[in-house]
Structures are given as C-alpha cells and as structure tokens.
Chains A and B, each alone.
Chain A
Amino acid sequence: MTRPGARLRSLATRLFDSSTMERLIDPAIADLQHEHHEATHDGRVWRGRAMSLVGYGACWKVLTIAAVRHAVFERTADDDRSVSRAIAFSLVAVGALTAALILPELEWTALRVSGAGKASRLVLSSVPSALVIALPLGLVFGVLLGLRHRRPTARVKWTVAGLGMLCSVGAFIIIGWLMPAANQEFRQLIAGRQLLRGFNELTLGELASGDPVRLMQVMSGGVTEARLALEFQFRVALAFAPLALTLFSLGVIAAQRRVRGPITIAVAALAACFGYYTLLYITRQAIYRDSPLALAPAWMQWMPNLTFLLIAWLSFRRSLATAPKESPQ
C-alpha cells in the first residue's frame, strides 16, 4: 500500500530542488506519515484518516509557500529575463490584437456617429469585448515567443502559470460585469436611444439568477432557464481560457527539444488560437443544433479548455520524462 504523502512527494521532487525538499517538504510529509502510522497502529482508523487530512492540508500549505518562494524570491537573472520577455510579448500581443479587433468595427461605426466625445466613448466601450478574445490569444503568443529561447525552469513555469491565473481572474471580471455594461453602452450609442438587452448584455449575476420572468422585462427576445444556464457556463469557461492557454503554451515550450525560430513559433501560436476558437465554435454549434453527438451542454462548453489542458498535461509529462532534473540551488 502507498504511504500517505508518497505521491505528493513524487510530484514535489519534480518541481523543487533538493534543499527545498530536505528543509521544507520532507519534514512535513514525514510528520504526516508518522502521525498516520501512530493512529492506525493503535487501531484508530478514523483518527488516522483525520490526521491524514490535517497532515495533507499542512503539506499543501508548505508546498504553496515553497512554490511562491521559489517563483518570487529565489529567482535568477535568467528567470527574470524569461518572465519579463513573456510579459512584454504578451502585452504587445494583447494590445495589437485588441486594436485589430476594435479598429474595423470603429471604422464602420465612426461613419454613423458625430462628435469626438461620442467616438471616444465608442472606443472605450468596445475595449472589454475585444479584450475577452485578445487576452487568451495574446498570452499564447507572448508565452510561446517570450520563452522560446530556453527550456523554462520550474520557477519560470510557476510564475507564468500564476500570471495566467491572474489574467483569468481579470477575464472573469471583464466577462462577468464590464463587458455586458460596455456592450449595452456601445449599442445605445450607435442606436442613439435606450435599448432592451440581449444575452451578451446580461451580467454573470443575472445569468446565474436563472430567473427568466424577471429578465424578460429588460431583455429583447425569448429567454429560458436552460439558455441562461448555457450562457452562464459559456462565460465562466471563457474566463478560464487565459489560464488554460497559458498552461498549454508552457507545456509546448517545455516539451520542445530544440529552439525554434520566431516565425515557426508565431505560426504555432496562430494555429493554437485558430484551433481553440474552432473548437469553441464547433461545440457551440453542437449545443444549439442539439447534435446527437453532443455531451451535456456544461461539458461541451468546457471542451476547448479541457482539450488544451489535456495537451498541456501530455506535454509536461513528456518534458519531465526527457528533461534532466534541475540542479540543486
């Protein structure tokens, strides 16, 4: 039988240097194993389980602290350079993609509005919906291009994954509240009058309420509980995209065996983005057309993220199997 904490230790040895293992993680796992053994040896099975639960909690806390220390305080100049490059490339890519998404729309709408004030409000109100698409795609380009020069260390991976997580939190706020308000503002500016809202103009809270009767008063068109649940799942899944695509990009970079040129990497990033949105489109179509092949709608909404996370996991596995262990610091 596997001892408690053995798998956790196996995972940790792949991520941390020997000094961190000896000083931080091994003692915590030793406590967990010792306490569990003491309790089960005396025949107190439930106490053993309870002690394991507490011990695992402590081990995960130690692991989290070690990961943050590793990523933030013990980084090297090379790590800093890699992370800075990934951030800089991501910012440029997000900015360029946002502009590319906004400009054609504005060119068309600018002909229909008059006044500099109104035009600037139009620009501002179109930014959130453009960011929803630009953020995950920009991260793919940023991470792949920024880290292409060398195999990322565990510290770089943790830091970039943390950035992906932050972007997902940001995307959640944008998708949930900023985008609906901005969309409505945009539509009313173009129409020049008050308009009823559509699904894209409902906040995440309103979608979560699942109350079609109340929402019918502020919405145009039919609304059902099922449709509200579907849109809610879609938005949450879309907010998760920056993290899923960041992990995917990290996995691809970690698994690459030699340094590729910027054009090859840019093409790979483009293909990944195209793949993600094609998958998103196909799953949405399958849900709305009630395809017999479709799984439950909630699963279908998460399909693109799950697919890219699966590829990330396989890539990390491959990189861990082939890479030499990081030298102790």
Chain B
Amino acid sequence: MTVPARSSVPTLPPKEALILELLVEGSELYGLQLVAASKGRLKRGTVYVTLGRMEEKGFIASRLEKGPSDAGGLPRRIYEATAFGRRVLSAYEHVVRHLTPEPAQ
C-alpha cells in the first residue's frame, strides 16, 4: 500500500471547516454573508485571507457577481464549495464523529 505524501493530505483548520459547512448549507454566499452567518466566529478583516487560502487548496471556487452591483461599485465575489471541498468536509466530519471521546458514564 502506498502512503500518500504528507503534504498531499488536505488539512482542514476549524475556520475553514466552518466556511465549508456554511457554503454547503447555503450554496453560494458573499464574504459578508459568511461573516454574518458565522455569528462572530469569522471576522470581516480576515475572512478573505481564509477564503483565498481555501481557494488555493481547491476547497471552494469563486466568481464575480454578474453585471454591475446595485451599488455601482466593485462587483462582489461569490463563493461556493467544490466537490473536493464537500468530500474533505465529509471526511472531516466523519473523523470528528468517530474520534470525539464519548462522555463518561
């Protein structure tokens, strides 16, 4: 059996897991919608750094909103989970479910 190289195994820090959960639940979301939905666990000053990192890892994909935004300013970026991201989240939830110690009787 070949053991995958350590660097090729995806890691999922808690903030990235939270973003994936929110995107899986809500399909497509803007950065600010993610911040609002996280109930204070994500900060608007750092959310795009995390989103950028997740995009590099292939967990999520993004596109600019179509046409000019209502504000007429810069178009906002919309994020969604990729199939790979969904698989990683599913594996992560599986690991968490099986490795969390059961409460003492």
Using a CB–CB distance below 8 Å, which chain A residues touch chain B?
3, 5, 9, 23-24, 26-31, 33-38, 54-55, 57-58, 61-62, 65-66, 69
Contact = CB atoms under 8 A, between A and B. Distances in A.
Given A28-B44, A62-B45, A65-B46, A37 B76 contact: no
A33 B74 contact: yes
Contacts, number: 71
B74 to A, nearest CB: 4
A23 B48 contact: yes
Contacts of B77: 26-27, 30
B72 interface: yes
B73 interface: yes
B31 A31 contact: yes
B48 A27 contact: yes
B68 to A, nearest CB: 11
Interface of A is mostly: helix
B31 A27 contact: yes
A-B pairs with lowest CB-CB distance, top 4: A33-B73, A61-B45, A37-B71, A30-B74
Most B C-beta atoms less than 10 A away, residue of A3, A30, A36, A58: A30
B5 interface: no
Contact of A34 (B44, B49, B52, B71): B71
A263 B102 CA distance: 73
A65 B71 contact: no
11 contacts: A3-B71, A3-B72, A9-B74, A23-B51, A23-B55, A26-B77, A27-B77, A31-B76, A33-B73, A62-B45, A66-B49
Given A27-B77, A28-B44, A58-B45, A33 B52 contact: no
Interface residues of B, number: 21
Contacts of B31: 27-28, 31
A28 B30 CA distance: 11
Interface in B39-74: 43-46, 48-49, 51-52, 55, 69-74
Most A C-beta atoms less than 10 A away, residue of B43, B44, B46, B72: B44
B48 A38 contact: no
B75 interface: yes
Interface string B15-37: 00000000000000011100000
B76 A62 contact: no
Nearest to B77: A27
Nearest to A25: B48
A37 B72 contact: yes
Contacts of A9: 74
A24 B52 contact: yes
A34 B73 contact: yes
Nearest to B53: A23
Contacts of B30: 31
A58 B71 contact: no
A32 to B, nearest CB: 8
A3 B70 CA distance: 13
A28 B76 CA distance: 9
Given A27-B31, A62-B48, A38 B76 contact: no
B45 A30 contact: no
A36 B72 CA distance: 11
B74 A61 contact: no
A36 B45 contact: no
B44 to A, nearest CB: 4
Contacts of B51: 23, 27
A73 to B, nearest CB: 11
Nearest to B44: A58
B71 A33 contact: yes
